[in-house]
Each structure stands twice: as structure tokens, then as C-alpha cells.
Amino acid sequence: MSGLSRGSDNAGRHPPGPPAADAAQLRSIFDALLAHHGPQHWWPADTTFEVMVGAVLTQNTAWTNVEKALARLTQRVPLAPAALLALPEPELAELLRPVGYYNVKAARLRAFCRALLDADGEPGLAALGTADLRRLLLGLHGVGPETADDVLLYAFHRPVFVIDAYTRRLFARLGLIDGDEGYEVLRARFEQALGPDVPLFNEYHALIVRHAKDACRSRRPLCDGCVLRGGCAAATPDPA
């Protein structure tokens, strides 16, 4: 399998340009993952605001912990920006305890709610172009590119490809990226190779996460049963 960028420089690193063969290669990986795992139905939330809250809370924690925190929140108040802001910050933090770093995340969530209200709510944000909305999100307290792009893709259905640690691990093992490229470099490479396609980006990111958790684990990956094994530069025998 060739690299995600065609060829590599003298240091063996992949240059940032979009390679001609990327689309077919990435589509074939997507097809294999989809056939194996099936649709993932992301994002697991009932409302746009719940997607946004989940994106803030899921930083550095498992989704099961986010679900626990959301359940605690919704038992106490309606899940809406004004209702969350009306909670005293220490109480909000206590409700968020299951997600870890709950004081930090309470402050981030409050900043997020304030920005949402300042922008006239979800319709105000939805009216912004993708670049402006991304800039606004990245300007919020504690919101980095991965969280911003989760919100853009899963809450506002914008064609941005989310890059996370699972994406880096899987595609580095497949030999398609180095894995330590800058966030924007990788995002541009995936987006340029695949073209703007919200449903594809939605499902692809979810499948990457699923595959990285189920098979391409950080330690002792389950390569023997992996659907990507045939084209994987790092395939190893399953541990006994």
C-alpha cells in the first residue's frame, strides 16, 4: 500500500500535498471498515446542543463517562445553555465529576454556553460559514482543533475531517502517514483526498474510532482478524 501522500521526501517523511491515489485508497479502507463494523450511527446524542456538550466533555475520557455526566446533568436541569449557566459553577462541576477534570470542564462548558448565547444560540452559529464558525470555536476557552471539528462535523454537519489519536495510530500503522504531522496538515490531506462529504466524514471517523478500539489497539493489536491486514505495514501475529 502506498503512502497517503505519494512518495516521501529524503528523510522518509510524507510531504503534505494531496496525492492522486489517496481517494481510492482511503475509500477502499472506508469500505472495508464499513463492511466489517457496519454503520456506527454517530454522534450518539439527541440534540445539536447535546453533541456540543458531549464534544467538550469527552476530552481525555471514555464516552461511558460522558453518558454518566449527561445523565446527572439532565436529572438536575434541562440540557440547554441558559439552564447550565444558571447552575453555580461548583454545582456544575460536581455534576460533571464522572468525566474527570470536572472543574476545568465546568469552566469550559460555561464558556461554551456563554458563546452560544452571545451568538444568538444554535441558529446564530449555524448561520456562520465553516471557516468563521471554526475560528469562533477555536477561540473558546479549552476548545482545541479536535473538539472544534467534532462540533463542526457532528453538530453543524460541516465537511471537516476530525483527526484524533486513533486516526494517527491507525493510518501510521497502515503506512499512510508518519503520525506526528501537525493537526492541520493531516486534516487538509484527508479532506483534499476525499473531497467535501459530510456523511462520509461522519461515518469514517466513527469507524476509525471503532476499529482502533476493537482491533488496532495501542498495545497488542489484533492483527490476525483485521480487515486491513492485507495492506498494513505494521501487521503482526496476534499474541498467543
Residue 56 near residue 147 (C-beta atoms within 8 A):
yes
Q: How far is CA 187 from CA 195, 232, 237, in A?
A: 12, 21, 31
What is the DSSP secondary-structure string of 206-235? HHHHHHHHHTS-SSS---TT-TTGGG-TT-
In the complex, what is the shortest distance from the CB of residue 74 to ligand SF4, in angstroms, rounded to a whole number? 37
Span of 27-35, 67-75, 109-117, 226-234 interacting with ligand SF4 by CB under 6 A: 226-234
In the complex, what is the shortest distance from the CB of residue 149 to ligand SF4, in angstroms, rounded to a whole number? 23
Residue 165 near residue 180 (C-beta atoms within 8 A):
no
Within positions 126 to 185, which residues make up the interface with ligand SF4, using CB under 6 A?
Answer: 170, 173-174
String of contacts with ligand SF4 for each residue 184-223, x by CB under 6 A: -------------------------------xx----xxx
The residue from 76, 145, 234, 237 that contacts ligand SF4 (CB under 6 A) is 234
Which of 9-14's residues contact partners 24+ apart within 8 Å by CB, and which partners?
13/178, 14/176, 14/177, 14/178, 14/181
Under the binding rule (CB under 6 A), the answer on residue 69 touching ligand SF4 is no
Residue 205 near residue 162 (C-beta atoms within 8 A):
yes
Q: Which is nearer to ligand SF4, 160 or 215 (CB)?
A: 215
* Contact footprint for ligand SF4 (CB under 6 A): 170, 173-174, 215-216, 221-223, 226, 228-229, 232, 234-235
